[in-house]
Structure 1
Amino acid sequence: MFSISAAAAQKQTVSIGWLRVPPKIYFKAGCLEVAMAEFSKKKRVFIVTDKPLYDLGVSRKVTALLDSMRIQHKTYYHVESDPELGMVLDGLKEVRSFQPDLFIAIGGGSPMDAAKVMRVLYENPEHTFESLAARCADIRKRPAQALLSGSRAELVCVPTTSGTGSDVAPYCVVSDTKTGERVLLADYALTPSMSIVDAQLVMSMPRTLAAHSGLHALAHAVEAHASPLGTDYTRGLSQEAVGLILANLPRSYDAGELAPDAREAMHNAGTLAGMALANTSPGGVCHALAHRVGAAFRLPQGLAHAALITHVIAADRAAAPLYAELARHVGVGGANDADSVQNLNKALEDLKQTVGVPSSLAGVFGSAQRAVYFACIPDIAELAAADVAAAHAA
């Protein structure tokens, strides 16, 4: 949600805002089949996923439903954990050859991010990735422009992890190997048409991935709550997400599919946190640092965010009242703001310890790599300061 100026009927200036999310979000375990029934009139579906999910047969749950509706489909499963521009452009060639009227992205943030770029470039052949990136550098400068007016193909996201929030967000990240940059795109045209948050798809998620993705969602929710662009709407989403994560991540991690209610709560929390971040900013200092550390050392983004978030909270004194408000809403408030922030950080550190995540980046790296990391800190800090996420920090 962003505030903009508009002329009132009497030519007075008023402040308005909006909350932008996909037009439809299906949730509850087993909702995939119900949601897919909406596509019975589609003709050609392009599926974007990754090789592990393809090999595990996850995408076949979707293709079987498409087959039952006699809908043609093509699956592109070459997405890697950090989407690379060359891969995205290779997929785009297949998209243009296939001419779909629907995209379905299945997986974590990487397939969803790749599908977003493929879709927008398919709909806008006059754009290159470079011109698209230049246009999508700051979402707040284009509150009403649309890249997809009269679009031919919708985008449906089916998350199979519970942390990126990409299924409801107008953001995506693509790595350009020529420049060595991870390029963040931000435009409402990137917002999916539908998200299908089916918890059955995460019941067998490995416990390490459950921990990392859950703490990734936590970082989204916390930084959205502290954002200067936050509102009553987004902070409510953040508070609910953090409460769900604190209450359910330990059981989701320990018991897995034997605690289906915890797995479902975590899946919902990931999307709630994504909705909050989608309507505030692409993150804050934690996100800026995690982007750069993750790129430099090939760390999973969930792990990088998890290791950093408590240290950012402790250092971010300007946002202390907002962290304290969050602490009170999730039941760890103290006698004053300072106590509340300290209690919140302790709750998050305890949670990290419970799910086997180190307290800091120094703990993430082994002794040999730790020396390299320490030597890189000045460069990482400089790059993080220039990251678009840092521009939205308090």
Structure 2
Amino acid sequence: MANRFVLNETSYHGAGAIAEIATETLGRGFQKAFVCSDPDLVKFGVTKKVLDVLDEAKIAYELYSNIKPNPTVENVKTGVEAFKASGADYIVAIGGGSSMDTAKAIGIIIKNPEFADVVSLEGVAPTKNKCVPIFAVPTTAGTAAEVTINYVITDAEKNRKMVCVDPKDIPVVAFVDPEMMASMPKGLTAATGMDALTHAIEGYITAGAWELSDMFHLKAIEIISRSLRAAVENTPEGRADMALGQYVAGMGFSNVGLGIVHSMAHPLGALYDTPHGVANAIILPTGMEYNAPVSGEKYREIARAMGVEGVDDMTQEEYRKAAIDAVKKLSADVGIPADLKDIVKKEDIPFLAQSAYDDACRPGNPRETSVEEITKLYESLL
């Protein structure tokens, strides 16, 4: 069986990368941008940095900001109608996963109107046409949505997140500019950074992992581990490293899948609006403990990438514990809670466990699981 790898056509990295939006727009002959960005980014002037680039180059645009932190089916439908009315021919998505996920869903439906109900996009939908061209500008160092073929939309009627996987939705150009991330508060920096680490670790041990993806994931673990603390303190070096590390993680996991940590985190976002990165960070050590028996020697390399010394002299049990302890330490150092007791209601666990089992990320987990075992994992985190 052949292994497929899908990446952006082009990506720009480093301070000032957003200036190239004008270059790419004019070079590709685009006429008008549909700018997707969330209300807070608009309010605090982050979106304006990109709008200034468009204004200076005299590029027409229309701003759409009806986007929630966990975008809903209704957000997407409203966005589709707004795009149709705008006369735009490409999308500029500015923000974290929410803005980019909304943009991807809008772009897919515009070119594949038979999926206008949105819910039919869940899983691997049989779309025929590439989505509206997307330029992606991340403002968080975590989701890597600018380089992935995934997007997540909340079905508010059923209190569940729909994971959609479609190579036709990947942004054509990514502009990974750490200066766009400098205004992130500490809590959001920590949460999105731990989301990126979860991508790298789950992607490294997922059932679909192979040598090319392993290369990206191990490097991402190394970069994130050395830079997240500094990024939380808002140093330019930390921001730049995290911008790169989360992107590298995205290059890998987008192509090989994730696992039980993400499948357990998604229902928390749908039911309680828990920030995705926080949910992942809390669950990650428990997920690693659960998957350790089927991980072979991979936890030794995770520990090594996270800066643990002497791993070659450790037993398998020791280096597995060292890898998990390094994750716990990093999570604690950046202020992530250690458990779910302030988030999860015990009576909701049956619903959460079934939702996690049904989630599109669960089949990628390297260890076979069940609703009953997932129930125990949730209970252990209370």
TM-score, length of structure 1 as denominator length: 0.87
Confirm whether residue 45 of structure 1 aligns to residue 33 of structure 2: yes
For 2:239, the equivalent position in structure 1 comes to: 263
Q: Distance between the aligned counterparts of 1:360 and 1:131, measured in 2?
A: 32
Q: Distance between the aligned counterparts of 2:146 and 2:205, measured in 1?
A: 22
Shift of 1:325: 3.0
Q: Partner amino acid for 2:48? A: R
Q: Distance between the aligned counterparts of 2:38 and 2:186, measured in 1?
A: 19
Which range moved further: 318-327 or 264-273?
A: 318-327
Shift of 1:322: 2.4
Q: Distance between the aligned counterparts of 2:118 and 2:236, measured in 1?
A: 43
Q: Distance between the aligned counterparts of 1:314 and 1:324, measured in 2?
A: 14
Matches within 5 A, 1:229-244: 229-244=208-223
Structure 1's unaligned 5+ residue stretches are: 5-15
Q: Distance between the aligned counterparts of 1:310 and 1:116, measured in 2?
A: 31
In the alignment, is the contact (CA less than 8 A) between 1:88 and 1:118 conserved in 2?
yes
Q: Partner amino acid for 2:299? A: Y
In the alignment, is the contact (CA less than 8 A) between 2:141 and 2:242 conserved in 1?
yes
Confirm whether residue 302 of structure 1 aligns to residue 277 of structure 2: yes
Matches within 5 A, 1:22-37: 22-37=8-23
Q: Distance between the aligned counterparts of 1:55 and 1:352, measured in 2?
A: 30
For 2:205, the equivalent position in structure 1 comes to: 226
Q: Distance between the aligned counterparts of 1:391 and 1:176, measured in 2?
A: 21
In the alignment, is the contact (CA less than 8 A) between 1:169 and 1:274 conserved in 2?
yes
Query: Taking structure 1 as reference, are residues 132 and 147 closer, same or farther at Cα in structure 2, changes over 3 Å only?
Result: farther
Q: Distance between the aligned counterparts of 1:100 and 1:132, measured in 2?
A: 25
Q: Deviations over 1:43-63 (max 9, x none)?
A: 111000110101112222222
State the secondary structure of the residue aligned to 2:66: strand
Confirm whether residue 91 of structure 1 aligns to residue 79 of structure 2: yes
State the secondary structure of the residue aligned to 1:104: strand
- Give the 4+ runs in structure 1 shifted more than 4 A: none
Query: Taking structure 1 as reference, are residues 74 and 124 closer, same or farther at Cα in structure 2, changes over 3 Å only?
Result: same
Confirm whether residue 318 of structure 1 aligns to residue 268 of structure 2: no
Q: Distance between the aligned counterparts of 1:353 and 1:211, measured in 2?
A: 10
Identity of aligned residues (%): 26
State the secondary structure of the residue aligned to 1:377: helix
RMSD: 1.8
For 1:119, the equivalent position in structure 2 comes to: 107
Shift of 1:137: 1.8
Which range moved further: 32-41 or 345-354?
A: 32-41
72, 75, 80: which one aligns with 2:60 = 72
Q: Deviations over 1:138-167 (max 9, x none)?
A: 38xx7xx7521xx6x310110000001111
Confirm whether residue 17 of structure 1 aligns to residue 3 of structure 2: yes
TM-score, length of structure 2 as denominator length: 0.90
Count matched residues: 360
Q: Partner amino acid for 2:272? A: F
Q: Distance between the aligned counterparts of 2:156 and 2:4, measured in 1?
A: 36
339, 343, 350: which one aligns with 1:378 = 350
Q: Distance between the aligned counterparts of 1:59 and 1:329, measured in 2?
A: 35
State the secondary structure of the residue aligned to 2:190: helix
Confirm whether residue 179 of structure 1 aligns to residue 158 of structure 2: yes
Q: Partner amino acid for 1:278? A: S
In the alignment, is the contact (CA less than 8 A) between 1:239 and 1:330 conserved in 2?
no
Q: Distance between the aligned counterparts of 1:249 and 1:329, measured in 2?
A: 14
